[in-house]
Every structure is written in structure tokens, then in C-alpha cells.
A and B are shown apart, each in its own frame.
Chain A
Amino acid sequence: MSTAGPKAHYSLVIIGAGPAGLAAAAAAAGHGLDIALLDEQRAPGGQIYRAIESIPAERARLLGSEYRRGEDLVGAIRNSDVEYFPDTQIWSLNREREIGLVHGRSAAMISADQVVLAGGAIERPVPYPGWTLPGVMNAGAGQILLKAQGIVPANGVVLAGSGALLLLLAWQYMRAGVQIKALLDCTPMHNHLRALPYLPRALLARHYLLKGLQYKLDLKRAGISTLQNVSDMQADGEQRVESVSYRHRGRQHTIKTDLLLTHFGVIPHIQLSQAAGCRHYWDKSQQCWRPQVDEWGNSSVNGILIAGDGVGIGGARTAEHAGRLTALEAVRALGRVSQHERDRLARNDRKWMREEQHIRPFLEAFFHLPGKLLAAPADDTVVCRCEEVTAGAIRKAISEGHDDSNQVKFLTRCGMGPCQGRQCAESVTHIVAGATGKSLPEVGLFRVRPPITPLTLEQLGSLFPDETE
């Protein structure tokens, strides 16, 4: 590990040390290239293999066997000539592959001949009444506390939403002895039918289906039942969450809790690929914006490749394969392997990646979120958490003739706070499309400009040391 900051130039810079970035770095190592692996976290592994190097054995056991896979990925980097920089935040990337970063206390601009983005995914932000109350968090946040720090809910927890992570977290909490007060599944019942045509192909990757069924069975045996087809879920409380209310089988219910963890699937974290000017498109099946890439991960911007969940949600194993494929392509572009050699080295990953993808169409249909949840938050529901812009304020702006995302942003400050629209961009697009009848691509996303994360003036000043002397 390097203690000094990154050099001014590398042949290859990989951003993100989760499964895609780690696999990419390992595949690119050993070709005589100058490689830097930059990551925001203090330790490698990304979200999925968080704390993989430091976790106590007992806690790792709670998380299930798949988690252990991260050890080999991280080990390969530790034993390579790749320069790994943790605690490194990226605030800019442009078409010339200039990268703005903060390492330690100071900012720097570096450049690269090839850049692989492996920034992964974020949990899909879905606004509902009360989602800004203290005591309401993402399910992923609960899992991070468990994985990285061995911290669990003290007074029980209500889990709600839709998606595979919700089930996994419930199972992990059950194993950790956490009281699950309710598991509210907001997946619409008719999704079973929607997913049925994709079942035969999913059976080719049946280990995923069996694992899901096993989790459900284990939960049931432990006396934790899942309420299916829940709707109108909301968090209530004055200064913090005190209870959760929801509709189930036509009746209204309320449950007291000091902690609500929700999850509505994951979406690619595209802030950086957007800042770099890469072309993005709306994927109806995954219900998210994705950067356009070819089969080697090349984006629409020359020399910028993207791998893993940052391209589209494929899971940790797909991310590994994609990481290696993009690395091979970058190594080819840098003249270190021939096209023929690249193709030969890529053969297994390409095959395994295809096999991994068998399950995706089924999962995407099964966990397809209803439009009502995405596009129709009530007028008094906060959409932009930073600037506290409600759905009603957004609709008012639309009714005054501002019918694209960026106009709504200018008028309402929606998306202009510290998170720079990460938590509201998608919702705004949905609301504008819903209100105007335009398609999502017509409405478009917020424009993203550097710095994509807040910088202090001190950090900005550190870019120009000569001028401050």
C-alpha cells in the first residue's frame, strides 16, 4: 500500500475496489503497465466484500459462504505491482481522462491513458412519506453496520421493500439473533406472473433460486413470516420514526419500531460516467439509467471503460468477469497484448459471464417495482432530501411549463445539495415523465458537473501550491 499520493500519470487507472475493480486490477497486473487502483473506502472489497480483510471469523460465518469469495480477489491485489490507494475520493473525470481526486487532505489532478470505472451500485432511492426521519435507513446501511462493524439493531427492526438484499439481510439478522418485528414485502403479487416466462432460463442458474428458497425456509422455521403484497408503506413519527404503517390484504396496519430499514433494489452509480460525458440509456427491465458500453466495456468516450454494477446490475460474480474483460481490453488498447491474445484470455470469463446472466431477466421481472411507487409520491413527500424539495413543488414547477429535469432543478434547487442529485435524480425524471406524458429518455437526467462531491476551498487551493506561496 502506498502512503504518498498517486503519481501524475498512469497507463491505467481503475476506480473502485469492489469485485469489478479488484478483478480488473489483477487481470491488468503483470503486463508491465503502470497501474493505480483508487478507492474511496479505507479497505478493499467494495460494499459486497466490505471488511473482508479484517472481519472476525465468527461474523464472517453469519454472512454466509459467498462473502468469503472476496478474500481471493483482495489477495491478488495485495500480491501484485498495482498501486492501491484507499481513502481516495474522485471529484472529477473528463473526456481527456483527467481525474480529480482527494487523497488524505489534499486534492490532485492526475491523468491516465486508459480508465476503468468500477464504481458499483447504490440502493435505489424511493421517496415515501417519512423516509427522511431519523431511524429510517437503507437496508444496505444495516448490512454495512453488520459486516464492517458487527453492529445490529438493539430493539428489533422492521424490514420493508422489495429485492434480494432485503431477504438476505433478514436471513443474516436472523442468524445474528436480531428480532425482526416485520418483513414487509412490497413486491406486487402479479410479478410472479410477470417473471414466469423467464423461469426456464433462470433454472440454468438454479443455485441462486435455491439459495433464495433456502433463506425463506430458514426464516419461516425461525418463526419470521413475510407479509406479501404490502402497499402504502410509510414511516411515522415526530422527531424520529416511531412506527411504520402499511396496507396488507385490504386493511391498514401499524407497527411500533425505532428502526425501519428499507430496500427497493440497486441501480448503477453513474455520477462519474455522467461527469465524463459517457452516453447513457434507460433500461426498462432494470428500471435504471445505464452507461452504454460494448462487449468489452468500452463506453462512448475513448479510453474510458466501465465494468460491474456501474454498467448495469449483474451481481458480484458478473462484476468480476466484466472487470477482467475490460482490463484485457485496456491492456490491448495499450499495446501489451494482441487482439487475438485478448480474445483467448477472455474466453472463460465470457462463458462464465453468460452463465451468470441466466438469472437476471427472472430477477428483474420478479422485483419489478410498480410505477406508482416510483412516479407517484404524494405532494407532501420530500423527494430531494438535501434541499427538501417535495413532489408537490416539483409538480408545481412542471405545471408552470418546466418540463425537463434540468429546468425543474434550476427552479426548485432539487438536486443542488451536497449529494448532487444522487438521491433524487431518478425520482425527478419519473415525476416529470408522469406529469407530462413524455418518455423517460425525453425527460433526461440532471446534468452532472464537477466537482461531483463537495470540496473544501483548502482542498481546491492545494491544487495550485505555487500560487498560494
Chain B
Amino acid sequence: MFKRLDSNPSKRVTITIDGIPHEAVAGETAAAAVLLSGIDCTRTTPVSATPRAPFCLMGVCYECLMVIDGQPNRRACQEYVAEGMRIETQRGPGALPE
């Protein structure tokens, strides 16, 4: 769905998305990293379990809620990637943190 304009970016970090290692670039948000990875669904809704994905990317729609480093209900568009960051699809309302 998306790609980087710069095909050879510097300052790379390794993150995991649903347990699978991905390369991201420092300065990217978790939401951007997930969109780049080609994953379509970043959460399923608590009401009907339908798939959703980032919508506004500016922190107002709360569609991109994901589990980040074990913390549920994080807005992926407001979190920046860091080496070793764990990003997971949030299923339903999200479980209490570990």
C-alpha cells in the first residue's frame, strides 16, 4: 500500500510486528512502520471484531490502537519506532498489560 521515497534510508532499526522482525527507520511512527510492512489490519473492533487500520494519523481517530511493547491501546501514529520495539495487532479491547 505504501513505500518509502528513499530506497536506501540510513538509521535503520529492527522492530517486530506480531512477532516477525521488520526493518524500520528511526523517525517513523509505529503506524507508518506497520503500513509499510503491508499489514492491512492493525486492530479488530471490540464490538464486531471487524478489521481496522490507521485512518487519520494525527491522533484524533483512535483507529490505530495497537499493543506496543506489551501496552494495549497505544495510538500507533503517536509512537515512534525504536530498536527492539514490539508491535502487535490489538484484538478486541486489548488485554491488560503484562
Contact = CB atoms under 8 A, between A and B. Distances in A.
B57 interface: yes
A419 B61 CA distance: 5
Contacts of A56: 6
B60 interface: yes
A385 B61 contact: yes
A151 B35 contact: yes
A155 B38 CA distance: 12
Residue from A151, A152, A422 whose CB has the most chain B CB atoms within 10 Å: A151
A149 B73 contact: no
6 contacts: A40-B59, A47-B58, A134-B42, A138-B55, A151-B5, A151-B32
A141 B5 contact: no
A138 B56 contact: yes
Contacts of A417: 62
A150 interface: yes
The main secondary structure of chain A at its interface with chain B is loop
A122 B60 contact: yes
A135 B2 CA distance: 10
A275 interface: no
Given A135-B40, A140-B56, A145-B2, 19 more contacts: A47-B58, A122-B58, A137-B57, A138-B56, A144-B58, A145-B57, A149-B29, A151-B36, A152-B5, A153-B1, A239-B51, A240-B40, A259-B1, A269-B60, A387-B47, A388-B50, A419-B61, A419-B62, A422-B61
B65 to A, nearest CB: 7
Contacts of A137: 53-57
Report, nearest first, the 9 A-B pairs whose CB atoms are least far apart.
Answer: A134-B53, A418-B62, A141-B57, A154-B3, A419-B62, A388-B47, A150-B5, A134-B40, A240-B40
B56 to A, nearest CB: 5
A132 interface: yes
Question: Number of contact residues on B: which range applies?
Answer: 35 or more
A270 B49 CA distance: 30
A343 B29 CA distance: 43
Interface string B20-56: 0000010111001001100011100101101111111
B55 A136 contact: yes
A141 B41 contact: no
A258 B29 CA distance: 21
B28 to A, nearest CB: 5
B56 A151 contact: no
A64 interface: no
A153 B2 CA distance: 4
A113 interface: no
A48 to B, nearest CB: 11
Given A138-B57, A239-B40, A152 B62 contact: no
Nearest to A51: B27
Contacts of B32: 145, 149, 151
Contacts of B56: 122-123, 137-138, 140-141
Contact of A152 (B2, B29, B42, B58): B2
Contacts of B61: 125, 385, 419, 422-423
Contacts of B73: 418, 454
Contacts of B78: 40
Interface string A144-185: 110011111111000000000000000000001000000000
Chain A CB count within 10 A is highest, among B3, B52, B62, B73, for B62
Contacts of A388: 45, 47-48, 50
Most buried by A among B3, B4, B40, B56: B56
Interface in B54-80: 54-63, 65, 73, 78, 80
A126 B28 CA distance: 28
Contacts of A122: 56, 58, 60
B63 A422 contact: no
A42 interface: yes
B3 A151 contact: yes
A29 interface: no
Contacts of A152: 2-3, 5
Nearest to B6: A150
Contacts of B35: 145, 151
